[in-house]
């Protein structure tokens, strides 16, 4: 079954460029602002949207995304409201892929079967669940694939050739290469090292490889785009949002424009790089 992710990455590849994958946290700083931002991202240049599901113990996230999750939770964001947000987005946009990124606990509490049904109906295309390793594929990965949702797996600099086949076995949509060891937004990856890592992964899979963690500026995104199928930017967008909030962490008129301006600059940089693999 062809998914929105398959279509979008194939479209970008046919244009000889990488995809810009943008991450925002659902409900940050409030539901209405977050939905308005979600709707604005594709027009600003986002090819794929990762929507973070707020969680009280986000162990893989850096300070920026942790703070975004806490703002969202404080404003009353839930997994149910996150699915409602995707449904509202789909009323005006049927083409842009949306991937939910988060942790297993909220899904487990919601109920796996019910969650997969509701997520599919809402218009979710894929899942990234960072605390479920391949050994636990029966928990969510395999049921998600049966439900028609791509399950996107993370590969890291420490994922060696012996481990890689297990990581890739049931992965669909794309492979998310975590370009640095550690938490999100912590360091800056080296483009040449990343390109070598992507090439190594692609020897094991035909799936697109998107690179994230630590990509902060348009210049940096362009450098990564030269050797990857997609470039993921998250913490930089969250930082841009946070910088516009008032003293009570409420949105201001500057909030959405600040994020979309940065997305526009990132998109121009990423889309302007003609990839050697496609030439």
User: What CATH number does the domain containing 94 carry?
Assistant: 3.20.20.70
d(CA 255, CA 48): 21
**Residue 183's domain spans which residues?**
14-274
**Nearest residue to 103 via CA among 61, 142, 74:** 61
**3-state DSSP call for residue 28?**
coil
Pick the more confident residue, 72 or 56: 72
Looking at 145-149, 207-211, 242-246, 271-275, which range is the least confident one?
A: 271-275
Residue 43 is classified by DSSP as H
Residue 68 in domain: yes
Q: How many CB atoms lie within 10 A of CB 270?
A: 27
The tens digit of pLDDT for each residue in 170-179 reads 999 999 999 8
pLDDT score of 61: 76
**Nearest residue to 27 via CA among 243, 183, 277, 238:** 238
pLDDT score of 277: 44
Q: What are phi and psi of 19, to 5 degrees?
A: -90, 145
pLDDT score of 184: 54
pLDDT score of 279: 38
**Nearest residue to 240 via CA among 181, 189, 185, 188:** 185
Pick the more confident residue, 58 or 41: 41
Residue range 37-52: average pLDDT?
A: 98
Residue 135 in domain: yes
Residue 71 near residue 42 (C-beta atoms within 8 A): no
Residue 3 in domain: no
List Cβ neighbours of 190 (8 Å cut-off, separation of 6 or more): none
Angle of helix 112-122 versus helix 79-90 axis, rounded to 10 = 20
Q: How many CB atoms lie within 10 A of CB 259?
A: 24
Share of the chain above pLDDT 70, in %: 95
pLDDT score of 233: 96
pLDDT score of 59: 72
Residue 8 in domain: no
pLDDT score of 181: 65
Residue 202 in domain: yes
pLDDT score of 182: 58
pLDDT score of 187: 59
Residue 234 near residue 23 (C-beta atoms within 8 A): yes
The tens digit of pLDDT for each residue in 83-112 reads 999 999 999 999 999 999 999 999 999 999
| Tally of domains within the chain | 1
Question: Which residues are known catalytic residues?
Answer: 50, 61
Residue 9 in domain: no
Q: How many CB atoms lie within 10 A of CB 218?
A: 19
Residue 35 in domain: yes
Residue range 253-263: average pLDDT?
A: 98
Residue 263 in domain: yes
pLDDT score of 190: 80
């Amino acid at each position: 079954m062809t998914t929105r992710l398959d279509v979008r990455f194939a479209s970008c590849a046919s244009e000889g460029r990488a995809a810009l994958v943008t991450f925002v946290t659902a409900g940050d700083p409030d539901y209405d602002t977050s939905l308005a931002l979600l709707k604005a991202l594709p027009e600003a240049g986002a090819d794929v949207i990762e929507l973070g599901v707020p969680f009280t113990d986000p162990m893989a996230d850096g300070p920026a995304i942790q703070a975004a999750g806490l703002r969202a939770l404080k404003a009353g964001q839930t997994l149910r409201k996150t699915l409602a947000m995707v449904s509202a987005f789909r009323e005006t946009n049927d083409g842009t892929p949306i991937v939910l990124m988060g942790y297993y606990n909220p899904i487990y509490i919601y109920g796996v079967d019910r969650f997969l049904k509701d997520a599919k109906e809402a218009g979710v295309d894929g899942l990234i669940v960072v605390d479920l390793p391949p050994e636990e594929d029966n928990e969510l990965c395999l049921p998600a694939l049966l439900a028609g949702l791509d399950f996107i797996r993370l590969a890291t600099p420490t994922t060696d050739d012996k481990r890689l086949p297990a990581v890739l076995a049931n992965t669909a949509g794309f492979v998310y290469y975590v370009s640095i060891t550690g938490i999100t937004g912590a360091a800056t990856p080296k483009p040449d090292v990343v390109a070598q890592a992507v090439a190594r992964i692609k020897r094991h899979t035909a799936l697109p490889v998107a690179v994230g963690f630590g990509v902060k500026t348009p210049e940096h995104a362009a450098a990564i785009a030269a050797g990857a199928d997609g470039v993921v930017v998250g913490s930089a967008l969250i930082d841009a949002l946070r910088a516009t909030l008032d003293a009570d962490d409420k949105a201001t008129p500057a909030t959405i424009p600040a994020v979309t301006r940065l997305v526009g600059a990132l998109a121009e940089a990423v889309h302007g790089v003609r990839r050697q693999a496609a030439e």
